[in-house]
Structure 1
Amino acid sequence: MVSHDLRVFRLEQMTLFDLPPADVVSVAADLGLSWVGLWVTPGLPGTVSVDQGNVAGVVSRLDETGVAVDTVELLDLRPDPREFERALDLAARIGARTAVAIHADGTSTDEAAQRLGALCELAASYGIGVAIEPIAMGTTRTIAEGVALVEASGAMNAGLVVDLLHLVRTGQRPRDLEAVDPRHLFSFQVCDGPAEPGSFEEQLDEAMSNRLVPGAGDFQVVEFLSRRPEQCLVGLEVPQRSRFDAGLGHLERTRTVLDSALGLLAQAATDRLA
């Protein structure tokens, strides 16, 4: 049962923001995980993305460990998707299945849908899908807005990645997922946090650097996991800069996240059967 549950999870590079991508793969392998999500564009300050200089080493580490890349981050909806040719080429070289994108520049839904369609067409030429992530500080913020954008794009390889943090911070609840066609749900991302969001600056710090281990806060993590369609992986996206600053090692920090998520996933499975 535990080995089956482990296959549900994806280790996100944001959780190990200070490690280069090949070492993120190693930590995933040490924890018995099969999937990772890596960055192929410049990410958070201090984060080392996959690039031309290290991609061969990343591929070698993936081959050695048997870990695979599910998602890559982070694209946005630009007028010319060809700006991401290099990123998508890197994504294809490491075997990624999906590229995560955000809509955060204030363009209209119609314009964003056209851009998403063009990005999806380019990504499809690399055998990659595109998952829009609704984010609290973006233009496409809610699940419903994300679905509308995906449907308006007309792209068959477009869907959503739903981050529990952004779902909560936009005033939504896991039950809002009931209205979404499961085929639009590519993957979930899980973490925890306090019920009250704090200031905008505090929300930015939370999202990028200081999330709570699943089960340590007020989010409805179990209900969220119980809404997961069978095909959805669950990304462990729990950057903990405060624990990093306190000297906790990479494996220790990540094992705590995984162990907590496993327990909550088992509870979600029990609730689903009840």
Structure 2
Amino acid sequence: MYRRNLFKAATFIAGSSALSALSTVKAMDCKKRPLQAIALCAIELPPEKFAEQARKAGYEKMGLRIHPIVPGALAHEFKAGTPEIRAFKQHLANTGIVLHGVDGFAINSDTNPAEFHSVMDACAELGIKNLTLCGDAPNKEKFAKVLQDMADYAAPRGFNIDVEFMIWRTVGTLEQAYELVKMADRPNCTIAVDSLHLYRSGGSHFDLDKIPQKYLGEIHLCDAVIDGPIDKKLVQAQRAGTLKVESTAGTPKGFEGVVKEAREGRLIPGVGELPLVEFLRHMPERPIGVEVPLPGYQTQRVFDLTYKYSQDLLKQLCG
């Protein structure tokens, strides 16, 4: 069923003019919202090329993965105080795009926050506004203390810490992330809400209404088919808190399909079946990052399609 639905959605991508025709029914004076192209859109691109192509497509902001999510994984690393970081900042200024966020940080209850201080110093020099992390919390109190320490280090450097929940981690649902950021109790520590992760974890846009808005952080936007590649019993175990995941490394058994989908099977906003307009209506107005890698597409085409379709989707919020 998943493959059939995915094929149906993929054929719709090919007709890239179809959605724009539908979206014109909304008011033309609808204010555009600035969009960020998140690193996963074209993670293989050098940062300079990423900036150029994203800006050409219309993106006002961009994200980078400047730290490997696991040892040896692809990342574009910067060190504070180096000629390279100064040159990249100048390139951003010349290109006319803002580096808004970074990702690639996986933590657990035993993480030493000091191991991230040097990369967070680079984040401060780059002028980012948001650092997104994910992880596992076998010990909630210790995990919350790690969040506190990271948020306290980030605050005077001008950026927020966002916790992103993912179904295959112990921080796997909106509610689990909420519990931890509430325990951390820092104004610059909030929850990144990814549309794919919200629905794949058995959540709903109505669940967002139960979370005080001060705890809701940035929006990661993509589409997907309704029936994902995951056994619903695993989702139920995660939501019940009985799923045991102890490490930030590897993919737990049974989650291979949904991990693959998150990394390379996302769909352009408005092309799939997720109720994205309702999702956005139930979120406070927060920065929106588009996170859609399209394997096999030229990277400029990825940026062009994701920006246009995302803005078309946003028009449906007006009126």
Given the two structures, how large is their TM-score scaled by the length of structure 1?
Answer: 0.88
- The answer to whether the Cα contact below 8 Å between 1:11 and 1:37 also exists between their aligned partners in 2 is yes
Shift in Å at residue 32 of structure 1? 2.5
> Which of 66, 88, 110 in structure 2 is aligned with 1:40?
66
Cross-structure match for 2:155? 124
Question: Structure 1: where are the runs of 5+ without partners?
Answer: none
What is the Cα deviation at residue 11 of structure 1?
0.6
The aligned counterpart of 2:86 is 56
Structure 1 residue 177, shift from structure 2 partner: 0.8
Map of 2:37 onto structure 1: 11
C-alpha separation between the residues in 1 aligned to 2:75 and 2:182? 33
Rate the CA distance shift 1:6–1:203 in 2: closer, same or farther, 3 A: same
Aligned partners of 1:33 and 1:67 also within 8 Å: yes
Q: Of the candidates 260, 267, 271, which is equivalent to residue 316 of structure 2?
A: 267
Size of the aligned set, in residue pairs, is 262
Residue in structure 2 matched with residue 141 of structure 1 by the alignment: 172
Deviation of 1:28 after TM superposition, in Å, equals: 2.2
Shift of 1:214: 1.2
Please say if residues 35 and 68 of structure 1, whose CA atoms lie closer than 8 Å, have aligned partners that are also in contact: yes
Partners in 2 of 1:167 and 1:234 — Cα distance? 15
Q: Take 1:107 and 1:125, find their aligned partners in 2: how far apart are those partners?
A: 29
Could you say what secondary structure the match of 2:90 adopts? helix
* Equivalent position to 1:223, from 278, 283, 294: 278
Point out which structure has higher relative CO (alpha carbons under 8 A, 6+ apart). 2
**Are 2:289 and 1:258 equivalent residues in the alignment?**
no
| TM-score scaled by length of structure 2 | 0.76
How big is each residue's C-alpha offset from its partner over 1:179-207, in whole Å with a ceiling of 9 and x where there is no partner? 12222222101111121221421211111
Query: How far did 1:171 drift?
Result: 0.6
1:269 aligns to what SS in structure 2?
A: coil
RMSD: 2.1
Structure 2: gaps of 5 or more residues: 1-27, 231-254
The answer to whether the Cα contact below 8 Å between 1:20 and 1:47 also exists between their aligned partners in 2 is no
**Matched AA of 1:250:** T
Equivalent residue, structure 2, for 1:98: 130
Q: 1:206–1:262: structure 2 CA closer, same or farther, 3 Å change rule?
A: same
Seen in structure 2, the aligned counterparts of structure 1 residues 47 and 23 have a Cα distance that, compared at 3 Å, is: farther
Question: Is this contact kept in 2: 1:165–1:191, CA < 8 A?
Answer: yes
Partners of 1:99 and 1:30 in 2: CA distance: 24
**Structure 2 counterpart of 1:109, one-letter code:** K
